[in-house]
A and B are shown apart, each in its own frame.
Chain A
Amino acid sequence: MTEREFLIPVGPQHPALKEPENFLFKVEGEYVVDVEPRLGYNHRGIEKAMESRTYIQNLYLIERICGICSNAHQTCYTLNVEEVLGMEIPERAKYIRVFMAELERIHSHLLWLGVAAHEIGFDTLFFYIWRDREVVMDLLEMVSGNRVNYAMPTIGGVRRDIPSDKIPQYKKMLKILEERTKYYKEVAAKEQTILNRTVGVGVLKKADAVRLSATGPNLRSCGVAKDARVDTPYLVYDQIPFNVITYDGGDQLAQILVRVDEVLESVKICEYCLDHLPDGPIREKFSPLGRVPEGEAVNFVEAQRGEDIHYLQSRGGDKPYRYKIRAPTLANIPSLIERLKGGYIADIPIVLAGIDPCFSCTDRMTFIDIEKEKTWEMTGDQLRRYGIEWYNR
């Protein structure tokens, strides 16, 4: 702590971070020198709880790890259980799961785009984007009955079918989404005030991104084309033509453009799924008390924020012996620290939001700093004592 450094706690209650996490920044004037993330405010001990619940009950728990990528976690969980059961799910169910996954990606990326605009103080864009996001929320509500936590994937297939007479309406809504996203892509790329706050801000070099095994748009914005849908394809992603978006700017603008292009890509995938939806049943029989044979399985899903890995070990019986979840945000935190160092205080929110952190996913296993630092709101006398102690150090 050099003479002029000043410790700014950001969070756990902070309007820029929608979730409780606490970053301690060592700053010199307006420059960030060092970052100590202190999270764990969201840790609920889900993995322990999963060991004491049956497979069907775990479906509801897995879905509520994180509101925005609930479908991704559920898809991965059902893939794991079906692999251990050796159960083959109907082709139609696979297409519906991919359709839901891509819809959720559109929903999450649009949400993030709005929040990113809000971080740099551009509230008008935030309101416009979230107004257009309502279109995808209505679409999700029509398909699954709920705006968030759709509970579509279940062990053995999908819970609800897509009525074929509704498909033209879904397509019309997808078209609206595509136009609006193209408009926002143009705004993001040309609006000078956005460029001022995002170009060259929070830059991550490609070597660092690979060294720290980052994932998702955070990695792809540094020019590395790594996508779980291509590296370890699951469901029917190997039959669907789509390309992996990469930009090599490595700064916040690259993150914005990667996500906006991915929305356009997801709209194409959704349309492909709707066109090639095979008919047939949507679910295999799996009784709620069903027992799962011994075995283990690892599965990857490309969630909105990156590669989401689940590991299941079952030793017979109706409860998993061990279930491990590593959400994408935890993999992105070391590279987030790299991005934050050397920036301005004013850039903290946009760089923090850059990796689209989902601390409710991460917090099942995020990390805390032992050093006994006070909570975010130092009272006056602590600050004075701290100030005196700091000056005569």
Chain B
Amino acid sequence: MGIISWARTRSPWLIHFNAGACNACDIEVLAALTPRFDVERFGALLKGSPRHADVMVVTGSVSRQVKDRLKRIYAQMPEPKFVVAVGSCAISGGTFQHCYNVMEGVDKVIPVNAYIPGCPPKPEAILDGVVKLLKSIGY
């Protein structure tokens, strides 16, 4: 199993899903791609279609309308798939906890493998989260 887990940890293809976020986390996820942080050093690429992706980066406290789209996108991803919840909204709904239209956290909708706290987490924190996720699936 060494080769496959080596390959899996070395090339996590990301897909970014904004489940009702205030897009502070989204611009930090994007900043992680840019020259100063450059997540491609770890082999990560931002892919357009869920079919091509392994890791789904979800930002934002899931609003009621986005809930079933999120499930659908998660269902479309091929099997060894992982979910990273970025930002305190995605972890627990953040400041939008008592709003009537919010599901308060991604793990209430789909299973989550890694949580990255922060509002918004800095790009270094996001990179650290992705690398830790890679190590954990590298078992």
Q: Is the CB of B120 within 8 A of A19?
A: no
A383 within 8 Å of B (CB atoms): no
- Give the size of the chain B interface in residues (CB under 8 angstroms): 45
Q: A13-B17, A67-B23 are in contact. Are A41 and B63 (CB under 8 A)?
A: yes
Interface locus among A28-36, A46-54, A230-238, A308-316: A46-54
For B66, list chain A residues within 8 Å (CB).
Answer: 12, 20, 41-42
Q: How far is the CA of A126 from the CA of B30 in the complex (A)?
A: 11
A window 134-165: CB within 8 A of B: 134, 137, 147-149
B window 61-80: CB within 8 A of A: 61, 63-66, 68-69, 72-73, 76
A277 within 8 Å of B (CB atoms): no
For A15, list chain B residues within 8 Å (CB).
Answer: 16, 46, 48
A76 within 8 Å of B (CB atoms): no
A272 within 8 Å of B (CB atoms): no
For A130, list chain B residues within 8 Å (CB).
Answer: 30-31, 34-35
Q: A43-B101, A44-B63, A127-B34 are in contact. Are A64 and B94 (CB under 8 A)?
A: yes
A window 43-91: CB within 8 A of B: 43-46, 48-49, 52, 60-61, 64-68, 70
For A52, list chain B residues within 8 Å (CB).
Answer: 98
For B46, list chain A residues within 8 Å (CB).
Answer: 15
Q: Mark A356-387, 1 if CB is under 8 A from B, else 0.
A: 00101001000010000001110000000000
Q: Is the CB of B95 within 8 A of A134?
A: no
For B25, list chain A residues within 8 Å (CB).
Answer: 67
Q: Mark A174-203, 1 if CB is under 8 A from B, else 0.
A: 000000000000000000000000000000
A172 within 8 Å of B (CB atoms): no
Q: Is the CB of A360 within 8 A of B23?
A: yes
For B72, list chain A residues within 8 Å (CB).
Answer: 375, 377
B24 CB to closest chain A CB (Å) equals 3
A201 CB to closest chain B CB (Å) equals 22
- Give the size of the chain A interface in residues (CB under 8 angstroms): 42
B21 within 8 Å of A (CB atoms): yes
For A65, list chain B residues within 8 Å (CB).
Answer: 22
A131 (CB) vs chain B CBs: closest residue: B35
Q: Is the CB of A18 within 8 A of B120?
A: no
B107 within 8 Å of A (CB atoms): no
Q: Is the CB of A13 within 8 A of B73?
A: yes
B119 within 8 Å of A (CB atoms): yes
A115 (CB) vs chain B CBs: closest residue: B30
For A18, list chain B residues within 8 Å (CB).
Answer: 16, 18, 23, 26-27, 30
Q: Is the CB of B99 within 8 A of A46?
A: yes
Q: Is the CB of B35 within 8 A of A360?
A: no
Q: Is the CB of A48 within 8 A of B17?
A: no
Q: How far is the CA of A60 from the CA of B94 in the complex (A)?
A: 10
Q: Is the CB of B23 within 8 A of A19?
A: yes
B8 within 8 Å of A (CB atoms): no
Pick from A41, A49, A368, A376: contact of B96, CB under 8 Å? A49
A354 within 8 Å of B (CB atoms): no
B36 within 8 Å of A (CB atoms): yes
B68 CB to closest chain A CB (Å) equals 7
Q: A13-B73, A45-B102 are in contact. Are A68 and B23 (CB under 8 A)?
A: yes
Q: Is the CB of B98 within 8 A of A376?
A: no
Q: Most chain-A CB neighbours within 10 Å: which of B23, B35, B36, B100?
A: B23
Pick from B20, B22, B94, B99: contact of A41, CB under 8 Å? B20
Q: A44-B20, A64-B119 are in contact. List 10 more A-B contacts (CB 8 A).
A: A19-B23, A41-B63, A42-B63, A45-B100, A64-B24, A66-B22, A130-B34, A149-B24, A149-B120, A363-B20
Selected A-B contacts with CB under 8 Å, 5 pairs: A12-B66, A46-B99, A61-B95, A149-B24, A360-B22
A-binding residues in B (CB < 8 A): 15-28, 30-31, 34-36, 46, 48, 50, 60-61, 63-66, 68-69, 72-73, 76, 89, 94-96, 98-102, 119-120, 122
List the 8 closest pairs (A to B, CB-CB), nearest first: A67-B24, A130-B34, A45-B99, A45-B101, A131-B35, A148-B24, A41-B66, A15-B48
